[in-house]
Chains A and B, each alone.
Chain A
Amino acid sequence: MKKKVLLMGKSGSGKTSMRSIIFANYIARDTRRLGATIDVEHSHVRFLGNLVLNLWDCGGQEAFMENYFASQRDNIFRNVEVLIYVFDVESRELEKDMHYYQSCLEAILQNSPDAKIFCLVHKMDLVQEDQRELIFREREEDLQRLSKPLDCTCFRTSIWDETLYKAWSSIVYQLIPNVEQLETNLRNFAEVIDADEVLLFERATFLVISHCQRKPHRDVHRFEKISNIIKQFKLSCSKLAASFQSMEVRNSAFAAFIDIFTSNTYVMVIMSDTSIPSAAMLINIKNARKHFEKLEGYNNAQMLLK
């Protein structure tokens, strides 16, 4: 039984766009005209190996949708690993939003009490810059209060700045078992091969799970940029029904290698020593891969035992 990641929120709060951006899917037609998004049946998106993403519009739809939702409730909320609830910061119906959120929480409490809860206050770019922190803190307080006895982690996001990527990276980070061990191993790997930076990406979304930075870099947005570039490349590849496997980028200043690492991850290695031949690097990565796969095997076993 696959575990689920539920992406929920009021209709029009930005879930479909978010999913499209994070998972590099072509976005569905504007579904508001057709009705609420129900895409449980179509979700092929696999996430962190064994998680499946389900998108649900929660609240604000017509009566028959409400009924469908109510009747399928237990089905929807069973086996949930993660609940990501999206709030539109511009919404004028705060009471209603909170009400729907609470009813989702009740369902979670009944069906998957161990699920992790994340709340995203979305579309923050529409708020004036100097007020964003203030408004977000207010919402966060309210949400944490309402979520008791469950714990929720809140993020403020917008698709037009780095906050969406960071929020989802944090979520993914919290879902990886034994992530500290992974990081230590990554650091060892980076030091052994004397790389400038080594990144570990989640396979489906290219969200950065962990990174080891050995030389400073000016651009704080680099992870998101790389992720976007590779996702665009994947889109191009998918037109040919080809799949992206690996990439090497070289110039006089650096060499970068992006390759499949474990079943759930990609690795990116950046070297400023360009004299090292590619073949040598690829051998190094191959050897490291074996080690990390073993690690992941242990982790997956642990998860199955839970």
Chain B
Amino acid sequence: MGMATTKSEFHVLAVDDSIIDRKLIERLLKTASYQVTTVDSGSKALEFLGFCEDVESNSNEPSTSPNNQQEVEVNLIITDYCMPEMTGYDLLKKIKESSSFRDIPVVIMSSENVPSRISRCLEEGAEEFFLKPVRLADVNKLKPHMMKTKNRDCQKAEEEVSSNEKIASLEIKSSEQTQAEDGNNNKRKATEAEEELSQDRTRRRYNGLTVI
């Protein structure tokens, strides 16, 4: 398993239990100028991403480990379907169920052409399904999926900046008003501003409060 550097623009995590296929996919991805990390199992993949499932809680939303290694950005995950213990499909499900990682595009590879398997994976959110042996032509199809996420991240960043600006102006307004009001009102407005902030952060989880 190699450590990722941030030289190239895109970083792909490849998962396959076959050492030959790992070598092959690594070479294919490097030829296409991507940064590559290969692992031999789904659990190692999750570990690499920084997954840490809270076994005690009932929620099936894994949280990221607090002592996550350096911020590893993975732009795409390509995984074999048939693997012992955790199949590629299981891995796909875990990723799509996670709030932190569901935006990472996932591609499935398989040596068997089973239509029901293919549609199941696509329904679960896989971007593509490649039949093995994987070719350079297949790997060249990956860029648009990675670009999509990058663009979405840029948009997200822009939205956050503009919403932070909104909140900043709200806080100024409310602090101007509270100079003439009770201490209680002060607290209420501050809480409301915080609610606005948390509203944006949790993507419009409606809490019934409105802010002027």
A and B bound? Answer: no
